[in-house]
Structure 1
Amino acid sequence: MASNPPAPAAPFVPSQRQPDTFGYGGHRTDEGPFEEWNPTEESLSAARGRHRVAKQKGGGLARSSTVLGVGVIAAVGAGGMASANTGKPPVSISLPDLPSSVSSLLGEGSGHQATQTALSSVTTTTATDADSSSSDAGEALRSRIISQAAQQQNQLDTKASAKAVAAAEAKAEKAAAAKAADAKEKAETSAKQKAEQARLAELAKQYTLPVVSYTITGTFGQAGSMWSSGYHTGLDFAAPTGTLIKAVHGGTVTEAGWAGSYGYRTIITLDDGTELWFCHQSSIGVKVGQKVATGDVIGRVGATGNVTGPHLHLEVHPNGQATAIDPMTWLRGKGLNP
């Protein structure tokens, strides 16, 4: 630290006091003269912390002014205003070594203008670097967000596509299964129909219609007062009198004769116990106990009993029961189509 050597003391001569004493009319004791205080290195207390006084080197006046200008500008930028009129002797402020760009700017000028140029350059460079760094960081963040969003969208698209494919496959499998089941059902139905047709064809060889040329004039279940039960209990084959009547199936003649409202009637009992009644005959051609085969002539069409014209009245009684069933259904079940 530099120090100023003490100045030689001047002798005090009261008669040499200056008549002008700070504008007052008379001499005041508090106006001096005073003994001059010249601080030395020993009379000053040691500086602490950041307020240490730096030593001045030769030729540092211009630099000290420049540095002082930097300090003033820095104080203003921080929101405060340093005052040079502090009434204290000026002190030099040291700064760390500046970058080459700042040094070059300082070399081009001096004083406050050079300081402003240097600070402006540093501020601009720092702001540019900060803006560039912030822009790069923002762009990187934006790119990462877009990439993550794209990945998530791709995952959702993949899942949706897989789900759609699975649904399409399931629908196709269901349709194929339904088609296969329908085809199987149709095949089974066709097979059953063919089997039934074959069975009926075989039965048709064993059964025959009772009259060859006829007209159906009455069906089973018709209501009317003409019948004692209140409804028609058989199937009527209208044909001219004398038309041949044939045995529908082979069996045994269990009745042959007059039967009141049925006229002349022949009953043939089949092997399964079913009774076939042939009524209103003009004549009977078989006897009780006689065995007949399918297609054998058993009588002729007539108009005996309770009738309105010549016809064959056929009834079917399963197991010989009194109640009759529909002869049309029974004949069709044997492969015949009246």
Structure 2
Amino acid sequence: MRIDLFDFDLPQDLIALRPATPRDSARMLVVDGDRPFDDRTVRDLPAVLRPGDVLVFNDTRVIPAQLEGRRGEARIGATLHKRIDLRRWQAFVRNARRCREGDRVEFGGGVTAIVEARGDDGSVTFAFEGDEPVEVLLERAGRMPLPPYIAGKRPADARDARDYQTMFAARDGAVAAPTAALHFTPELVAALEARGVVSETLTLHVGAGTFLPVKVEDTREHRMHSEWGRIEAATAERLNAARRDGRRVIAVGTTSLRLLESAADADGTIRPFEGDTAIFITPGYAFRAIDGLMTNFHLPRSTLFMLVSALMGRERMQAVYAHAIERKYRFYSYGDSSLLLP
């Protein structure tokens, strides 16, 4: 499909630079099939969902993966996006042409890395020196990797270390937050439990590739960057049991959805999963593992807007986003939410 079919005009003042406070006070647009749109808040979620519904959260934790360093006199900006092993990471690099294989880059705080390789996609593989875990080094030298549409308007600060992390964050490895879950609070989760809504978790370490613009003109030519994920066997069995019982499985965020769909057989059975996924979901895709999606409002021409268009229909999502813009919903990572029930 043509990429321009997924374009729309978004006023810049609707891009959220801070999250709602408290988190569950964010607005939520409920889109339930062909019914009229329902303007709610996230706090209304227990009233909207049914007892027995299953919400699936991503428990990845964002690491401070943005680094500023020097190779000699040259300034190098790096955003780690995928772990290779204990000491090696792939990174998107500003001024990558200044990085040659074998170069040593100093990132401050005694953190150094060797340029091991350069990829065809412009990424760089860094091998970090020393014996400390790379996550420890990043806590010393790194910054929270805010999305470019926020970082371009204000620098990261101490608030972001808290704001850009979900309450479910438990497993280090993401360089972007699973932002749909940023809206959840312990009070909201308790209210959902009281309603009989079930929570499950999986892990998908979100990569910085999620923010890369689509540079081709046709979806068939776009290639997603792979991300590592895991679904435990016990989690898969509980999700399969829920669907056998006729209960809805609702992914909280496109990251949870993509991993569930990656792990599902043609008959919808969710298998245990551990490894990389580069699934790219566009209109025409037959969903197998989920019955709904809670997600924020996405960029024009983005792979995420293509995904929600696949779930609800492209024309329907254009109408959804036109409504959200007219009603001044806040967009992107720190923005408001939508609940999509096909």
| Structure with greater helix share of residues | 1
Judge same fold: TM > 0.5, yes or no: no
Question: Normalising by the residue count of structure 1, what TM-score does the alignment of the two structures yield?
Answer: 0.18
- Return the structure number with greater strand share: 2
- Greater relative CO (CA pairs within 8 A, separation 6+): 2
